[in-house]
């Protein structure tokens, strides 16, 4: 009998849900694990831990839904190690861009950034390069569009919503696009 094994996508989703439930019970967890320019020098771990914290039901549902679909494809295309590398480095790159542009453009120094969106956009960037012409439906639009338009367009559209750390989305997406080009050159026979 074989042992039970979780995919890395399922593991990340479960971990995010556990942390979300913990924040519902103890709201201060958001302040301890969330990324803030004001506290980053004293809490450097938050550049990673904020990827597991979400601020609302809508936030966690949207991110985990997207992680499931993007993550499942990326994981199957490039394998566990590369998937996790893109996810975590993409999330960290997004957070670094958030901090950098925050210092330059003067975002509210006390703002706390949370969520896996930068890491998820990194996965979307990989897909946009590896399978750009795949057709996807984006709710509520009734027509299929090329994946690359959905990913890049989604990043741009979300950038205009208030309270969104668009810098993290862009940083993750840029890392994902570069990773996708790297994988496409190295793994050409697979695609």
3-class secondary structure per residue, 109-158: CCCCECCCHHHHHHHHHHHHHHCCCCEEECCCCCCEEEHHHHHHHHHHHH
Q: Does 37 map to a domain?
A: yes
* Long-range Cβ contacts of 95-101 (<8 Å, 24+ apart): 95/35, 95/47, 95/50, 95/51, 95/168, 95/171, 96/47, 96/171, 97/167, 97/168, 97/170, 97/171, 97/174, 98/35, 98/165, 98/167, 98/168, 98/171, 99/35, 99/37, 99/40, 99/47, 100/167, 101/167
Q: Peptide bond before 140: cis, by omega within 30 degrees of 0?
A: yes
Q: Say if residue 161's pLDDT is above 80.
A: yes
Q: Does 3 map to a domain?
A: no
Q: Does 126 map to a domain?
A: yes
* Confidence tier at 189 by pLDDT (50, 70, 90): low
Q: How many domains does the chain have?
A: 1
Question: Most confidently modeled of 27-31, 156-160, 162-166?
Answer: 27-31
Region 3-16: what's the mean pLDDT? 92
Per-residue pLDDT tens digits for 87-135: 999 999 999 999 998 777 766 667 899 999 999 999 999 999 999 999 9
pTM: 0.93
Q: Measuring CA to CA, how many Å separate 77 from each of 84, 120, 171, 187? A: 12, 15, 22, 10
| Phi-psi label, residue 4: left if phi above 0, alpha if psi -120 to 50, beta otherwise | beta
Cα atoms found within 13 Å of the Cα of residue 44, Cβ hemisphere only: 1
Q: Does 73 map to a domain?
A: yes
Domain with residue 94: its CATH number is 1.20.1540.10
Predicted pLDDT of residue 137:
85
Task: Write out the residue range of the structural domain in which residue 113 sits.
Answer: 8-190
Region 152-170: what's the mean pLDDT? 90
Q: Say if residue 187's pLDDT is above 60.
A: yes
Q: Does 160 map to a domain?
A: yes
Per-residue pLDDT tens digits for 12-65: 999 999 999 999 999 999 999 999 988 999 999 999 999 999 999 999 999 999
Q: Does 82 map to a domain?
A: yes
Query: Looking at per-residue confidence, does 182 or 162 come out higher?
Result: 182
The number of residues in the chain equals 191
Q: Say if residue 5's pLDDT is above 60.
A: yes
Region 62-73: what's the mean pLDDT? 96
Q: Say if residue 136's pLDDT is above 60.
A: yes
CA-CA-CA-CA dihedral for 55, 56, 59, 62, to nearest 10: 150
Q: Does 1 map to a domain?
A: no
């Amino acid at each position: 009998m074989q042992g039970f094994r979780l995919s890395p996508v399922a593991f990340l989703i479960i971990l995010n849900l556990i942390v979300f439930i913990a924040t519902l019970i103890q709201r201060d967890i958001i302040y301890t694990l969330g990324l803030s320019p004001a506290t980053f020098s004293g809490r450097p771990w938050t550049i990673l831990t904020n990827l597991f914290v979400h601020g609302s039901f809508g936030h966690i549902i949207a991110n985990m839904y997207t992680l499931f679909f993007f993550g499942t494809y990326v994981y199957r295309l490039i394998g566990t190690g590369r998937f996790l590398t893109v996810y975590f480095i993409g999330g960290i790159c997004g957070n670094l861009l958030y901090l950098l542009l925050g210092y330059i453009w003067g975002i509210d120094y006390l703002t706390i950034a949370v969520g896996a969106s930068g890491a998820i956009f990194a996965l979307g960037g990989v897909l946009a390069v590896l399978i750009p012409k795949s057709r996807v439906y984006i709710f509520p639009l009734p027509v299929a569009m090329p994946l690359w338009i959905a990913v890049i367009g989604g990043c741009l559209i979300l950038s205009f919503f208030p309270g969104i750390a668009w810098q993290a989305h862009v940083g993750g997406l840029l890392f994902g696009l570069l990773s996708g080009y790297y994988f496409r050159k190295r793994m050409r026979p697979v695609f």
